[in-house]
Amino acid sequence: MTVKAPSGYAAIITGAGRGTRAGGEPKQWRDLRGRSVLARSLDAFAGFDRVVLVVHPDDMARAIRDFAGGVTIVTGGETRAASVMAGLQALDGQASHVLIHDGARPLVSDAVIQGVIDALQGGAQAAAPALPVSDALWNGAEGAVTGTTSRAGLFRAQTPQGFTLDQISNAHRLHPDDAADDVELALKAGIPVAITPGSEDNLKITFPADFARAERILGTAMDIRLGNGYDVHAFGPGDHVWLCGVQIAHEAGLVGHSDADVGMHALTDAIYGALAEGDIGRHFPPSDPQWKGADSAIFLAHAADLARERGFTFGNADVTLICEAPKIGPHAVAMQARLAQIMDVDPSRISVKATTSERLGFTGRREGIAAIATAALIRA
């Protein structure tokens, strides 16, 4: 989800700094779990009509390669204020409001952005997120505490900082000297600034340890995987079939290398699919005689264990058997219980249902049974 900004809202993402206090290449270009810091910062503003990215001249080619299309890319100046000014000029008056965001804050949440927008929409001339200071504050010198400072009324400033385009552009023209942030310039220009809720996760990446912290925060994001599976087995000689781990008397059997449990095979493949781990054939080659006549519970248990090894739990699984006969309904609860037992999950997370194919096709002609399955895996 990204915030859908009201029409007329623009965003400026500042990424022109050469700051290397985080170590190595400029922090905003470094990889953070597969995407650059700047890419993550830009993602958060994808729902804005206009987005201007301000980069260092040395990074222009890379910025065009990574972000061209949808984003206006301009080069910044010597100071932060000069870079913001370049972004404001690129908007050329074509916006009512602008949110100015530090590109080194890649984990800004929708709620933080929405809070700024809501304040502006509610009539605030300017609004910016902050967190009240909760630690005690000391004065210190030469490694010793020399005094204390009251934390009452003190806030830690964050971004995005939101303004009307006219007012912040004027403030920058009036006070071209550098400032810690745009709120400081706004105050110098006499613009009142509302404080909106900030977030501890909206950290500014400055030091090497900040990358580790950002990765930990990202690591708590939920990873949800879906997989599907499909299988078919033909009827052959026999007097029973195995379906979802339940033996059912029938006028024919199912042909297969293992016990031909078509439903369990589809479910097993759905789990392997969610893990991007191929299919049953990859883990239990049919060319291997040890799996002849095997209980398919071995396959399902292996897939479920693999999911758990990777840190996943089961959201749910849904199996549909497609056949004219045998009747599945009377066995569905037993199938649900057996699959849940093999996967070691609560039966309420497992669904087994059936349909005919209206006598159409191979299942309709009672030549075999087909099964489809879906599995959802969750890693919190």
Task: Check whether 299 is labelled as a binding-site residue.
Answer: no
Which residue, 172 or 265, is less far from Mg ion as judged by CB?
265
Task: Check whether 149 is labelled as a binding-site residue.
Answer: no
Q: Which stretch binds Mg ion (CB under 5 A): 111-119, 126-134, 262-270, 368-376?
A: 262-270
Q: Which has the closest alpha carbon to 307: 337, 353, 335, 349?
A: 349
Torsion region of 61: left, alpha or beta (phi above 0 gives left; psi -120 to 50 gives alpha): alpha
Task: Check whether 232 is labelled as a binding-site residue.
Answer: yes
DSSP per residue over 167-211, as a string?
HHHHHHHH--S--SSHHHHHHHTT---EEEE--TT-----SHHHH
Which residue, 52 or 304, is less far from Mg ion as judged by CB?
304
Q: Does 259 bind Mg ion (CB under 5 A)?
A: no
C-alpha dist (Å) from residue 211 to 17, 37, 202, 204, 207: 17, 10, 13, 10, 7
Task: Check whether 257 is labelled as a binding-site residue.
Answer: yes
Q: Does 231 bind Mg ion (CB under 5 A)?
A: yes
* Minimum CB distance to Mg ion, residue 254 (Å): 9
Task: Check whether 338 is labelled as a binding-site residue.
Answer: no
Task: Check whether 135 is labelled as a binding-site residue.
Answer: no
Extended strands (E) in the chain? 9-15, 31-32, 35-36, 50-55, 72-75, 97-102, 126-132, 137-141, 144-149, 155-157, 161-164, 194-197, 223-236, 240-243, 246-249, 253-254, 313-322, 350-355, 368-379
Which residue, 210 or 231, is less far from Mg ion as judged by CB?
231
Q: Which stretch binds Mg ion (CB under 5 A): 8-16, 110-118, 260-268, 339-347?
A: 260-268
Q: Does 97 bind Mg ion (CB under 5 A)?
A: no
* Minimum CB distance to Mg ion, residue 321 (Å): 13
Q: Does 349 bind Mg ion (CB under 5 A)?
A: no
* Minimum CB distance to Mg ion, residue 256 (Å): 6
Query: How far, in Å, CA of 52 to CA of 110, rounded?
Result: 19
Q: Does 265 bind Mg ion (CB under 5 A)?
A: yes
Which residue, 56 or 265, is less far from Mg ion as judged by CB?
265
Task: Check whether 308 is labelled as a binding-site residue.
Answer: no
Site string for Mg ion, 179-218 (x = CB under 5 A): ----------------------------------------
Task: Check whether 101 is labelled as a binding-site residue.
Answer: no
Q: Does 225 bind Mg ion (CB under 5 A)?
A: no
Count of residues touching Mg ion (by CB under 5 A): 2
Which residue, 66 or 231, is less far from Mg ion as judged by CB?
231
Contact 340, 346 (CB under 8 A): yes
Query: How far, in Å, CA of 343 to CA of 350, rounded?
Result: 10
* Minimum CB distance to Mg ion, residue 229 (Å): 9
Apex 272 CA angle, 271 and 275, nearest 5: 90
Task: Check whether 279 is labelled as a binding-site residue.
Answer: yes
Buried b (16+ CB within 10 A) or exposed e, 340-362: bebbebebebbbbebeeeeeeee
Residues tagged in the binding site annotation? 231-233, 257-258, 265, 279-281, 355-358, 362, 365
State the residues that interact with Mg ion by CB under 5 A. 231, 265
